[in-house]
């Protein structure tokens, strides 16, 4: 079921940019820009560096989120 959700999300974002700015990724993740920068610096999320620019690959980020999503039964 998880792969179907990911496939739908990837299809829905086909017209979106491949690389997200930190501000865009922070909105997608509902986190602050500072937290996303921290995660990028620590290697906790997939990152592409172009010179001094930090970009987050959209598809890899969505996959990263999917891989870390737990079902409610796993939380308790």
Per-residue pLDDT at 15:
78
The count of domains in the chain is 1
59-69 pLDDT tens trace: 999 999 999 99
| Mean pLDDT of the 1-16 span | 64
What CATH code is carried by the domain that includes residue 59? Answer: 1.10.10
Query: Does 76 reside within a domain?
Result: no
pLDDT of residue 61: 96
Comparing C-alpha atoms, which of 55, 57, 19, 16 is closest to residue 37?
55
Q: Would the pTM of this model clear 0.85, i.e. be above it?
A: no
Q: What is the pLDDT of residues 11-49, one digit of tens each?
A: 655 678 899 999 999 999 999 999 999 999 999 999 999
Residue 75 inside a domain? The answer is no
Is 11 part of any domain? yes
Determine phi and psi for 19, rounding to 5 degrees: -110, 130
CA atoms within 13 A on the CB side of 55: 12
Is there a domain that residue 25 lies in? yes
Q: Which domain holds residue 58?
A: 2-70
């Amino acid at each position: 079921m998880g792969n179907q959700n990911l496939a739908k999300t990837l299809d829905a974002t086909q017209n979106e940019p491949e690389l997200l700015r930190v501000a865009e990724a922070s909105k997608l993740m509902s986190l602050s820009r500072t937290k996303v920068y921290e995660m990028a610096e620590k290697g906790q999320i997939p990152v592409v560096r172009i010179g001094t620019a930090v970009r987050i690959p959209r598809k890899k980020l969505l996959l990263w989120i999917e891989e870390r999503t737990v079902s409610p039964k796993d939380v308790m």
